Structure 1
Amino acid sequence: MSTTSSHSDPMEAEIERALAPGRFVSDRGCFRFVDGLEQVAATVGRLVDDEPVRAATLYETFLAGCYEKAEEVDDSSDSFGMFAQSLISGWITSRQAAQASPQQTAARLLAWMDDDQFGFCHRLEREIATVFGEAGIAAFIDQIRSRFEAADQAATASAGSDQGDQDARRRSAETLRWAEALRSLYTARGDLDAYVDLTERTGLTTDDCLTVANLLVTRGDPAQALSWAERGLDLDANQPYPSFAAHSLTELKPRLLADLGHGEQALETAWAGYRKHPDRYSYDHLMTFVPHAERPGWHDRAITVALDGDRYLPAVIELLLHTDGTGRLGQLAARTSDCSWEGVGHHTAEQAGAALEPGHPGDAARIWRAQGMRILEAGKSKYYGAALRYFEHAKRCYQQAGQPAQWQQVVDEVYAQHGRKTSFLPGFDAVVTGTDPAPQPSFLDQAKARWSRHTPK
């Protein structure tokens, strides 16, 4: 199918060719498609300095084309949507270079946000806050604040005076939408007072406390930042599950204490956080507050805590690998059941097995055996090659540890429980006997043999 059209700007023809109207873009081909769009957008971007009005018009045309193209793109990767948002940023830059009215720019953006069928403007305020100049972001904030006030007043009028209705008003979707937009813009602008005033109207959250604390850190006020961090942690303590913001506040609090000269209290706070969730990251965080001369002792305390009790096994393994604790890793491996090792992901298990092979071959063999069994139990035939490699490692390690009986138990278990996996057994037979597997006929050779049996002589 071909179409003809006239374009007032020669660049429009380039845009249309890049968008390939009428051709469906699959998920697999989306990155390549977007790469072509980005090359054309880069050409438009080079017009901003000398021809900003033209550039703004082209960006808007390009964005309109993206909306028209959207139903012909499988954008599972969201690369097309992110490209569309980059066009909006370019449009704002061009408008500012052309000294266009900030109020008109903001009004046009809000109109796009209202009529956003494909989500190109979702969380747009987060992406464009740094693109706007001072006048632009002020105009954008003013217009969003007007929408927030209107939505809030409308919800209040319909809610009445009952407290339950008051809570429902605060959860109004429209009110929350514009409140979140204002939060992002106030944060980008560093407007602490406006941000705090907004939280007083909409309800304070742990995320709010983290944002305010970070803004105060930027202002060089660690004492107030600490107060907000503690406030956020108190809020989160009343929730059934800890939030991501609480995790960040847990890391921020000891840093603030250290900045205020409370080194011992900072260490105590970091230690409390580590004991709740011992892993390689909380370990590194803890050690930043430990005096250099005391680190060996604190290291032993930290590892002892990680190994004590029913901890999340992969996290403890990664911690021991991170701290070069192969001796402790051997102790952990020895007391961990085969069933538990089968539940550890292959990436972590492979690192543990490789680390233990030189000094603890028997423990390494159990890890390799567990990974092979994990694949067989799941019946994932496309990973049978990996399972065979794991069993080869297991056999070698059992032999190195002088444990042939344990290897024979693995062999017996595989044949007894997985003897019907015919695509796996020839390779496993070769691992057991130490010989190369018999060459298998190709797909077409098998087809010819089957065909010949049904073809009259």
Structure 2
Amino acid sequence: MLMAQAKGDPALARTLRLALAGTDGSGRLAVEVEKRLRTIGRSRGFIEWDKVRPLARELDSLRETIAGPLAATDPRAAVAQMRLLLSLADNVFERSDDGSGTLGEVFRGVGADLGRLWSQVPNRDPVALAADVLTLWDADGYGETDRLLEAAGPALGPEGRAELRRLLQARLVALPRPRKEDAFEGWQGRGQIAFRLRDLADLEGDVDAFIAATEAGGRAEDFAGDIAERLLAHGRPAEALAWLDRAPERHESEEVRHTDLRLAALDALGRQDEAHALRWAAFQRWLTPQHLRPYLRALPGFDDVEAKERAMAHALEHPDRNLALAFLVTWPNLEAANRLVRAHHAEMDGRDYGRLRPAAEALAERYPAAATLLHRALAEDVLRRTASRQYGYAARDVRACASLAPLLTEEPGLENHGAFLARVRREHGRKTGFWALLEGQA
């Protein structure tokens, strides 16, 4: 009955054939799996966006069949079929647009399963396995082996890991030292090998090998945070600080990370005064609650009250008004957030909906005027930019203004809702898509 039903459903038919094959032993199951994998591998047509997820589901189902029923009865056949599945990555990626990352996730899972399956093969040769890992890395064009080494660790064992390190180091030695004028291109090859050596060092928990690999790859100071993190985990805070001192200036998120690592090192060394000063400096720069809270806790007596007032005053004067608003709402200090909005709403960036919209919602109950100003800023920014794809959000913000309107009191400089709508219609009346959404016609 199921096979009859599957005549009009190719995906169901393939699933049923695999299920039936599994009842006849591993030999037939391996044949059916390989047949389907080779069919996919021979395909050349472009995979349209609406076919990407169905293909990902099928590939994942094949992965589960190989790692489950086939591996349970014939681990060697399972390894062969998992390798075949992994080899499809280039073909599939070149024929599709994996903007969602769905296919990438499936193939990374295939790589990890292959590493685990190697452990199930009896009498495996760890030295030969190390060469296999290197071959798969060389063929990796889309990151499908990102999880291979960690999963293959038990199968490689100490002997296999030592061989893999020997092979990588031999490649590194064989590379010519880059000329100064070709430094970037020259270090790219070294950097890739160093990246693999760092992964191997992490697998063995060897921080000194991690540092050596990083230095061999060049520009080791660019990885100062990674090195410091591992040194701290191994109880070596003084060395971690020395590496952080070598780090070049980076983007904000990396600077925050380096600061947190520096704080951990200073705390571990008992240098509390330096850590205390650094937490305040970090808060002043980034308005980070995670730095302010321990700073306040460390203050004696009632000094924390005065320091908290100083922190709120600093936030109110911070030049990044959106950042300041997000901090005050998160802390929370809604009274100060209200003051900030009332004084500086014209300076706030309406594109920053990730901060302004949650702030408007947090302020709505106690400070409806401030919430209204934020919703208006969000809506008017969309209209000024004629960002038609965001008209739905703008309409939602205007409706939020309408719901808050009965709570507003008349005051100088604050338009009532009717006056606001009239002005927006004068300035943006031709944006019919927005007005249709607002009036429920689209």
TM-score normalised by length of structure 1: 0.76
Choose the corresponding residue for 2:102, options 54, 79, 93: 79
How far apart in 2 are the matches of 1:168 and 1:369? 52
Q: Does 1:359 align with 2:378?
A: no
What percent identity do the matched residue pairs reach? 19
Q: Does 1:214 align with 2:221?
A: no
Q: Does 1:348 align with 2:358?
A: no
Q: Per the alignment, do residues 244 and 141 of structure 1 end up closer, same or farther by CA in structure 2, a change over 3 Å counting?
A: farther
Q: Per the alignment, do residues 418 and 126 of structure 1 end up closer, same or farther by CA in structure 2, a change over 3 Å counting?
A: farther
Moved more, 141-150 or 362-371: 362-371
Q: What's the CA shift for 1:255?
A: 2.2
Partner of 1:302: 311
Q: How does 1:19-168 map to 2 (within 5 A)?
A: 21=40, 22=43, 25-46=47-68, 47-48=70-71, 51-98=74-121, 99-116=123-140, 118-121=141-144, 128=151, 132-151=156-175, 154-155=176-177, 159=179, 164=180, 168=183
> Is contact 1:56–1:95 with CA below 8 Å preserved after alignment?
yes
Partner of 2:244: 232
- The code of the aligned residue for 2:30 comes to M
How far apart in 2 are the matches of 1:129 and 1:266? 41
Q: How does 1:320-359 map to 2 (within 5 A)?
A: 320-338=328-346, 340-359=347-366
How far apart in 2 are the matches of 1:108 and 1:333? 61
1:92-122, Cα deviation, whole Å (9 max, x unpaired): 3333332322221221232233344x42456
1:276-334, Cα deviation, whole Å (9 max, x unpaired): 211344445656756797654443333222222312x3322221111121100011001
Partner of 1:455: none
Which ranges of structure 2 fall in alignment gaps of 5 or more residues?
1-9, 11-25
> Is contact 2:225–2:247 with CA below 8 Å preserved after alignment?
no
Q: Per the alignment, do residues 244 and 127 of structure 1 end up closer, same or farther by CA in structure 2, a change over 3 Å counting?
A: farther
How far apart in 1 are the matches of 2:101 and 2:38? 16
Look up the SS of the partner of 2:318 in the other structure.
coil
How far apart in 2 are the matches of 1:421 and 1:197? 61
Choose the corresponding residue for 1:250, options 236, 259, 275: 259
- The code of the aligned residue for 2:76 comes to V
Q: How does 1:362-401 map to 2 (within 5 A)?
A: 362-401=369-408
Q: Per the alignment, do residues 306 and 93 of structure 1 end up closer, same or farther by CA in structure 2, a change over 3 Å counting?
A: same
How far apart in 2 are the matches of 1:121 and 1:383? 35
Which ranges of structure 1 fall in alignment gaps of 5 or more residues?
2-6, 431-436, 443-457
Q: What's the CA shift for 1:383?
A: 4.0
Q: Per the alignment, do residues 347 and 138 of structure 1 end up closer, same or farther by CA in structure 2, a change over 3 Å counting?
A: same
1:41-97, Cα deviation, whole Å (9 max, x unpaired): 223223546532222122122223444544444323333234333323323333333
Higher Rg: 1
Q: What's the CA shift for 1:420?
A: 2.0
How far apart in 2 are the matches of 1:352 and 1:91? 47
Q: Per the alignment, do residues 381 and 289 of structure 1 end up closer, same or farther by CA in structure 2, a change over 3 Å counting?
A: same
Choose the corresponding residue for 1:14, options 33, 43, 62: 33
- The code of the aligned residue for 2:192 comes to R
- The code of the aligned residue for 1:413 comes to R
Q: Per the alignment, do residues 270 and 12 of structure 1 end up closer, same or farther by CA in structure 2, a change over 3 Å counting?
A: farther
TM-score normalised by length of structure 2: 0.79
The number of residue pairs the alignment matches comes to 409
> Is contact 1:24–1:73 with CA below 8 Å preserved after alignment?
yes
Query: Which contiguous aligned blocks of 4+ residues in structure 1 show a shift greater than 6 angstroms?
Result: none
Q: Per the alignment, do residues 119 and 252 of structure 1 end up closer, same or farther by CA in structure 2, a change over 3 Å counting?
A: same
Q: Per the alignment, do residues 55 and 297 of structure 1 end up closer, same or farther by CA in structure 2, a change over 3 Å counting?
A: farther
Partner of 2:272: 263
How far apart in 2 are the matches of 1:126 and 1:277? 38
Q: What's the CA shift for 1:209?
A: 2.8
Look up the SS of the partner of 1:251 in the other structure.
helix
Moved more, 175-184 or 383-392: 383-392
Partner of 1:402: 409
1:219-268, Cα deviation, whole Å (9 max, x unpaired): 2x2xx3243234323432xx4x4475443221022223223333333222
Moved more, 18-27 or 322-331: 18-27
How far apart in 1 are the matches of 2:437 and 2:209? 68
Q: Per the alignment, do residues 395 and 8 of structure 1 end up closer, same or farther by CA in structure 2, a change over 3 Å counting?
A: closer
Q: Per the alignment, do residues 147 and 125 of structure 1 end up closer, same or farther by CA in structure 2, a change over 3 Å counting?
A: farther
Q: Does 1:411 align with 2:434?
A: no
CA RMSD of the aligned region, Å?
A: 3.5
Q: Per the alignment, do residues 305 and 193 of structure 1 end up closer, same or farther by CA in structure 2, a change over 3 Å counting?
A: same
